[in-house]
Structure 1
Amino acid sequence: MKFAITSKGDSVSNTLMHKMRTYLQDFDLTYDEDQPDLVVSVGGDGTLLYAFHRYRSRLDKTAFIGVHTGHLGFYADWVPEEIEKLVIAIAKTPYQIVEYPLLEVIIRYNDGGREARYLALNECTVKSVEGTLVMDVEIKGQLFETFRGDGLCISTPSGSTAYNKALGGAILHPSLPAIQLAEMASINNRVFRTIGSPLVLPQHHTCLLKPVNDVDYQITIDHLTLLHKDVKSIQSRVAKEKIRFARFRPFPFWKRVSDSFITDK
């Protein structure tokens, strides 16, 4: 089996990365950064997001494992004290594959057939570079509302505990094939009106954002921030691709939610 390891870059994470690499190679596993079967992320959720985008062209061939070296992460189910145990599990134990849905974002432009396609593990956010964001929101081909406010966030179920939660969105179990649309400070008065609640869309529904005015947009795909000009539409839906996690033991989602937001440790 071929493996690769990504690190957050701090001294603790780098030390664990080098130790794991040595141990796994001692078990005759092959280190291969280009075509790994398994990618171990050492750090936090941000480190795993980086690994996901680095290997997004191999999602059907590569599985991910997270080791957290700081605050408890949603994508990391191993701690530094368990490194030896994890190495033995990787080398000796068949693992279970758990798949989570991803967000597909397609940005189309006014100059014809040009478009850009992205995959997000957590979310996509849309904001106007200057002033209020004004967007027509279409769902499944029908105009739903004209949004006015600071911005919009479209998240995956596994990303529902991130920015989406801060915006008052619902926490969705990551096995659900859905996306969620949440508002950022919408304008609601006698003239302008939005739904004012997060929307959860199933995989066969597409959300299309159409600019009402000609402005530039700041669009984020997970941790990547992009400036887009001359935008015709922003299409979001559940992607055909999925992210694959390697599981060697149960990793209960609701326990992670409780540990992260409720339990006082």
Structure 2
Amino acid sequence: MKIAIFANDGRLSQIVSQRLRQKFKDTHFVLDDQNPDIVVTIGGDGTLLAAFHKYSALLETVRFVGVHTGHLGFYTDWRDDEIDDLVISLQSDNGQSISYPLLDVRVTYADKQKPENFLALNEATLKRWSATMVTDVYIGGELFERFRGDGLCISTPSGSTAYNKSLGGAVIHPNLKVLQVAEISSINNRVFRTLSSPMIIAPNDWVTLIPARESDYLLTVDQNSFHGKKIAQLRFKISKKSIHFAKYRHMQFWQRVQDAFIGSEYAN
């Protein structure tokens, strides 16, 4: 089995990375940062997101395992003091995995360059820097509304627990391959109207945004941001690709949600 270790720059993460690297060598695993079978991330959810984007071209063959060295990790199943157990689990690995849906993001620019394509694990957002954002929203090719406000957030099911949740969006189980659109401070009055509610979009429908021709838009795809180009169109759809996590020790989704947002002391 070929393993890559992807750690953030934190002191504890680097210490755990060095210890884990030595344990893998001692147990005769192959360390391979280019074409791994397993990517072990050490840090938090931000570290796993960064690793996901680094290895996005290998999603069909690579599985992820997260070790958290902070206070909370929604995608990370192992603590930094459990790496001995992690190595033992990897030694008995049978190739099983848990899969989460991803978001396809396609950006067309006003200068008619070739569209750019991105994958998001959590969400993509579109905002304006300095004024109200105005964009037409199409669902399945039909005009749904003209949105005015600070921006829009389009999230995956697993990403529904991130920025989307803070916007009042629903938490969606990853077995449902749908995307969610949540408004960011929409304007609603006698003149301008939006649905003013999160929307769950079927897997076969594209969500298309055609913004007004202002150029100061900010597009984010997970933790990556893009600005400075005039966007003509954005299209979002649940991807045919998925991210795969090694199944052993992978926490059940609702247990993960309960652990992250409620805490076991309040469960009873």
TM-score tier after normalising by the smaller chain length: over 0.9
* Structure 1 outlier segments of 4+, above 4 Å: none
CA distance in 2, matches of 1:14, 1:250: 23
Amino acid of the residue matched to residue 191 of structure 2? Answer: V
CA distance in 2, matches of 1:175, 1:39: 23
Contact 1:24-1:91 at 8 Å conserved across structures: no
Amino acid of the residue matched to residue 125 of structure 1? Answer: T
For residue 229 of structure 1, report the CA deviation from its aligned partner. 2.0
Q: SS at the partner of 2:165?
A: helix
Partner of 2:60: 60
For residue 113 of structure 1, report the CA deviation from its aligned partner. 5.0
Amino acid of the residue matched to residue 200 of structure 2? Answer: V
CA distance in 2, matches of 1:228, 1:55: 26
Partner of 1:258: 258
Contact 1:145-1:194 at 8 Å conserved across structures: yes
CA distance in 2, matches of 1:203, 1:188: 28
Contact 1:23-1:87 at 8 Å conserved across structures: yes
CA distance in 2, matches of 1:201, 1:84: 42
For residue 264 of structure 1, report the CA deviation from its aligned partner. 6.3
CA distance in 2, matches of 1:49, 1:174: 17
Partner of 1:76: 76
CA distance in 2, matches of 1:241, 1:51: 16
For residue 199 of structure 1, report the CA deviation from its aligned partner. 0.5
Q: SS at the partner of 2:71?
A: coil
Partner of 2:188: 188
Partner of 2:129: 129
Partner of 1:24: 24
Q: SS at the partner of 1:159?
A: helix
Partner of 2:155: 155
Q: Summarize the Cα distance change of 1:178–1:155 in structure 2 as closer, same or farther, 3 Å threshold.
A: same
Partner of 1:140: 140
Contact 1:217-1:227 at 8 Å conserved across structures: yes
Name the % identity. Answer: 47
CA distance in 2, matches of 1:219, 1:71: 29
CA distance in 1, matches of 2:208, 2:228: 16
CA offsets, 1:26-76, max 9 Å, x none? 121110101111000111000000000000111011100001111221100
For residue 83 of structure 1, report the CA deviation from its aligned partner. 0.8
Contact 2:103-2:120 at 8 Å conserved across structures: yes
For residue 111 of structure 1, report the CA deviation from its aligned partner. 2.5
Partner of 1:92: 92
Contact 1:126-1:151 at 8 Å conserved across structures: yes
CA distance in 1, matches of 2:264, 2:85: 27
Aligned residues: 265
CA distance in 1, matches of 2:249, 2:33: 25
CA distance in 2, matches of 1:244, 1:263: 26
Q: SS at the partner of 2:159?
A: coil
For residue 215 of structure 1, report the CA deviation from its aligned partner. 2.6
Q: Summarize the Cα distance change of 1:142–1:18 in structure 2 as closer, same or farther, 3 Å threshold.
A: same
Contact 1:129-1:215 at 8 Å conserved across structures: no
Amino acid of the residue matched to residue 121 of structure 2? Answer: L
CA distance in 1, matches of 2:11, 2:113: 47
CA distance in 2, matches of 1:112, 1:224: 22
Instruction: Structure 1: state its 5+ residue gaps.
Output: none
Q: Summarize the Cα distance change of 1:193–1:58 in structure 2 as closer, same or farther, 3 Å threshold.
A: same
> Pairwise CA RMSD of aligned residues?
1.3
TM-score (norm 1): 0.97
Q: SS at the partner of 1:39?
A: strand
TM-score (norm 2): 0.95
Amino acid of the residue matched to residue 5 of structure 1? Answer: I
